[in-house]
Amino acid sequence: MKTGLFMGSSLAPILVEWVLDEVILQALEKLDFNPQFWMAYVDDHLTSIPRNKIDMVKTALESFDKDITFTYESEDILTNEINYLDVTVKRNNDGQIMTNWYHKPIASNRLLNYYSAHPIQMKFNMVKNFIRKVFTFSHKSFWNNNLIKIKNILSKNNYPVKIIDKLISSVKSDNFKAKTDAPQRFNLSNYSFLSNNNDRSCDKLTSNNRYIYSSKQYIPKLSESISKVCQYFVPEGKLAMKPTNQNSKFFVNTKKKINKIDNSGVVYSIKCNDCTKLYVGETIQKLGSRIDQHKNECKKVIEGSNTKNVAALAEHVKQYGHSFDFDGAKILKFERNKLKLQIQEVNQIIKNEQIVCNYKTDKKDYTNTYYNLIVNRNVQSN
C-alpha cells in the first residue's frame, strides 16, 4: 500500500487484515472461476489459480483502490514449488500438495549460542522448538535432509554433538503426531504443534495454584543454585532469568529524539533565577503547553489582574518579584497514568522539600511511613 498507517503501529496489522479480507472478497466476485484455496497471513497470500488467469486476478485485486498494488510470484515450472513464509509448497503430479521447511539461502542461521550467558534450560527449549518447527513444517520424506541441516546449524552455534543428538531424540519422543505418512493437502489443521510436557515453565495457572514471578539477572552456576533454593522454600515462586547484556548497550538508538517541550505525562522542575528555590509540577499535557500557562499566570500576577487561585510558582513571583528559568525546565519523571504521575510529583517535592516553593498541601495526604522512607533514602543517596 502506498498510503496507510505508520510503521510500528499496533493497530496496523488488524486494519491490514480487515482491508485485505474485503479486497479479496470483492475481487473473487469479479472472477469467472473459483480458486482451489486462498490462504493469507497479513499481506502474504497463497492461492491456486490457472496460469493464464494471473493477470485477471491481479486486475481484480487492484480495482479496489488506486493506491493498492499487488506483486506476485508463480511456482517454479520445473519443480512445481513455491516458497511461502517458512514453508516450501510442492505440487505433486496427482494434484496433492507436500510441504517442506524453508529458510532463505542468505539466512544467518544464528541461534542462541551454547556458550552464551543464559540458563541452560532456556537454550535447550529454544533448540527443541527449532527442531519441532522444522519437523512440523516438513513432510516425512524430507526429514533426513532436514536433520542434516539442523545438526549443521546447531554445530555452528557451538552445541556439542551429544547434546544435539539428545535434543533431537527428545523431540522425536514427545508424541509427535502430525499426519505425515502420506502426501497431504495444504491445510494447517493437518499439523499438530508440539508441547513439551516435561517443561515446568509451561505449567498452567489454576485457581488453586498461582505462581509468583520474579525477574533476576542471570549469573552462571550461581543462578541455578538460587533457583533450587527458592523452589524448595517457595514452591509457588518462579524465577525468570534475564541476561546482563542488553541490546541497548551495543546498538545506538537511531530514532529522532523528541523535543523536551513536546513530551507529555511528565514531572518537571523549574528553577528560580533570583534564589535557590525551584518549583516541581506535573502535567499530562505537553510540557511546552504547561510552561506557557505558567508564563501567562506570572504575567497576570505581575500586572495585578490575577491574584487568586494561582500555582505556587506564580505565588512566588507575586510575593518576591522573582523570575523563573522556563527555558531550563527539567523533566524528572515520565508517567502516563494520571494518579501515578501525581504520586511521582509528591515524591519529588518531598525529596527536594528544603528548596521547593510548592504549597505544603501538595504532600498532605502522604503517611509518615512513606514520607520517612523517601526522606531517608534521599539522605543516603546524597
Average pLDDT over residues 209-222: 79
Separation CA 356–CA 347 (nearest Å): 12
Q: Is the pLDDT of residue 327 over 70?
A: yes
Output the nine-digit C-alpha cell for 192.
499438530
Domain boundaries, the chain: 12-101, 211-246, 260-381
Residue 369 pLDDT: 55
Separation CA 261–CA 295 (nearest Å): 14
Q: Is the pLDDT of residue 135 over 80?
A: yes
Q: Is the pLDDT of residue 201 over 60?
A: no
pLDDT category at 250 given cuts 50, 70, 90 is confident
Classify domain 260-381 at the CATH topology level: GIY-YIG endonuclease (3.40.1440)
Residue 185 pLDDT: 40
Output the nine-digit C-alpha cell for 268.
518537571
Residue 365 pLDDT: 58
Which strand (E) or helix (H) includes residue 361?
none
Nearest to 64 by CA among 12, 16, 24: 24
Q: What distances in angstroms separate CA 17 from CA 34, 46, 296, one per listed residue? A: 21, 15, 48
Q: Is the pLDDT of residue 186 over 70?
A: no
Residue 76 pLDDT: 87
Mean residue pLDDT across the chain: 81
**Residue 259: CA count within 13 A, CB half-sphere:** 7
Higher pLDDT, 29 or 255: 29
pLDDT digits over 38-69, tens only? 888 888 899 888 888 889 998 998 888 888 88
Q: Is the pLDDT of residue 171 over 80?
A: yes
Among the ranges given (218-222, 326-330, 343-347, 364-368), the one the predictor scored with the smallest mean pLDDT = 364-368
Q: What distances in angstroms separate CA 144 from CA 89, 163, 241, one per listed residue? A: 18, 18, 35
Separation CA 211–CA 92 (nearest Å): 50
Higher pLDDT, 222 or 197: 222
Question: Strand pairing of 212-217 and 237-242?
Answer: parallel
Counting every residue written for the chain, the total comes to 382
Query: Which residues on neighbouring strands pair with residue 266, listed in sequence order?
Result: 283, 334
Query: Which residues on neighbouring strands pair with residue 270, listed in sequence order?
Result: 279
Average pLDDT over residues 184-191: 38
What percent of the chain stands above pLDDT 90? 27
Separation CA 280–CA 328 (nearest Å): 13
Output the nine-digit C-alpha cell for 57.
486476478
Residue 125 pLDDT: 92
Residue 150 pLDDT: 94
Residues 6+ apart with CB under 8 A from 268: 280, 281, 282, 283, 287, 290, 329, 330, 331, 332
Residue 367 pLDDT: 56
Separation CA 151–CA 173 (nearest Å): 18
Q: What angle do CA 307, 312, 316 make, to 5 degrees?
A: 75
pLDDT category at 196 given cuts 50, 70, 90 is very low
